[in-house]
Structures are given as structure tokens and as C-alpha cells.
């Protein structure tokens, strides 16, 4: 069994399709954008992290004030990392700073106008305190700042996601980026930390 696991790690030491992180304040259109992307990318795997955590019981408690589960990030990453090493993943979550930088190739931060965001969250049945918290986070650009603090600025892009037309245009832009990435990385990119840093320096 141990040998099989080692072989798997060796096989997946490089990925040949980029991993995308679609992030933003709840209600900014992450899931809609990710689903549109998945339809365009035949070899992609879509991971809605809220659903993934629920399906795999990646919880360590419940926050009564926010009326939501507290995700066990260590368990989540233990399960998710082998999947990300294969490449071609679309990750959909409002939290972006927990994923290993060496496994993320593009971070898309979706932004939304406040009145539209309010309507979307209200339609979901969010209580007022949770709506206010999310709108405040969007106003202050919390998710964008987390992304800039956690990843190289060159791979972080901010896109407006107020309308379905904007979402479709965003998907077109991301697909074009993927095609360029594949043209530039015919031999793939490494999943390993030290080599990844070397690759980044070489690209510069």
C-alpha cells in the first residue's frame, strides 16, 4: 500500500492543466461563474468547497452567531490536495488564503455592486446581520486583500460580476488565459514547493 501511495505522488508531481480559484464575497457569482467555466472546459473538475466540506464532513463545529458550520481546514486540505495535484481544478469558495500557493495558478476575485449583492443575499434568505457583514466585507475589499496577501500579484485578477453578461465575458477571459497558460507550459508545472519556487524565478 505504501509503495502505491508513493507511485501516485510521483505520477502527480506535475500538472498539465491549471488550477483556478474562483473567490469573492458570498453572493458575487462564484458558483454561476464556476459552472459556466466547467461547461467550457471539458477536462476540468469543479469543487464547490461548501458542498465538498459537507459531503466529506470537514467540520469542527458550528458558529451560532453566523448560523454556519466551521470548516476543518486541515481535513479539507488533506482531502483536496491529491485532487489539486492532478490539475484542471475549479475551486469555488469565499475563503482563498488556505490553499497552497504552489497548487494555484490563477486567482479570480469576483466583485459585485452593493445593491445587487444585497438583493442576491436577501433572496438566499440570509439574516440581516449576515447580509451587513458580507456587504461590509465587499466594501472594504477583504477577499481581494486576502488574495493579494496570499498569492503572487501576477496571478490575481479582479473581475466585476454584476450581470450574466459580465459573467459570460469573465468566462471568455479566463478561458483565453487558460489557453495561453497551456501554450506556455507544454511540459506542465511542478506540484512541489522547492521546484515551484525555482520555476517562478526562471519565468521571471
pLDDT at position 64 is 78
Cα–Cα distances (Å) from 173 to 25, 149, 177, in that order, read: 20, 24, 6
Q: Is residue 29 a known part of a binding site?
A: yes
Q: Is residue 31 a known part of a binding site?
A: yes
pLDDT at position 5 is 46
What is the spatial distance between Cα 192 and Cα 76, in angstroms, rounded to a whole number?
A: 19
pLDDT at position 104 is 98
Handedness of CA 85, 157, 56, 39 (dihedral sign): negative
pLDDT at position 139 is 97
pLDDT at position 22 is 98
pLDDT at position 12 is 79
pLDDT at position 203 is 52
Give pLDDT tens digits for 157-183.
Answer: 999 999 999 999 999 999 999 999 999
Low pLDDT (below 50) residues in the chain: 1-11, 195-202, 204
Residue 197's CB is within 10 A of a number of other CB atoms, namely 13
Q: Is residue 150 a known part of a binding site?
A: no
pLDDT at position 193 is 81
Q: Is residue 124 a known part of a binding site?
A: yes
Q: Which domains does the chain have, with CATH numbers?
A: 18-165 (3.40.50.300)
Q: Are 107 and 23 in contact (CB under 8 A)?
A: yes
Amino acid at each position: 500500500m505504501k509503495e502505491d501511495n508513493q507511485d501516485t505522488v510521483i505520477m502527480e508531481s506535475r500538472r498539465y492543466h491549471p488550477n483556478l480559484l474562483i473567490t469573492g464575497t458570498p453572493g458575487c457569482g462564484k458558483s454561476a461563474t464556476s459552472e459556466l467555466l466547467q461547461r467550457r472546459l471539458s477536462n476540468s473538475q469543479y469543487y464547490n468547497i461548501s458542498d465538498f466540506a459537507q459531503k466529506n464532513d470537514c467540520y469542527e463545529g458550528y458558529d451560532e452567531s453566523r448560523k454556519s458550520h466551521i470548516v476543518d481546514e486541515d481535513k479539507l486540505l488533506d482531502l483536496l490536495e491529491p485532487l489539486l495535484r492532478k490539475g484542471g481544478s475549479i475551486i469555488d469558495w469565499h475563503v482563498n488564503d488556505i490553499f497552497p500557493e504552489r497548487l494555484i495558478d490563477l486567482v479570480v476575485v469576483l466583485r459585485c455592486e452593493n445593491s445587487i449583492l444585497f438583493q442576491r443575499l436577501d433572496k438566499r434568505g440570509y439574516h440581516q446581520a449576515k447580509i451587513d457583514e458580507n456587504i461590509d466585507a465587499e466594501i472594504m475589499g477583504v477577499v481581494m486583500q486576502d488574495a493579494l496577501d496570499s498569492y503572487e500579484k501576477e496571478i490575481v485578477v479582479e473581475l466585476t460580476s454584476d450581470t450574466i453578461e459580465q459573467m459570460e465575458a469573465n468566462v471568455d477571459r479566463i478561458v483565453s488565459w487558460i489557453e495561453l497558460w497551456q501554450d506556455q507550459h507544454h511540459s506542465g508545472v511542478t506540484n512541489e514547493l522547492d521546484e515551484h519556487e525555482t520555476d517562478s524565478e526562471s519565468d521571471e
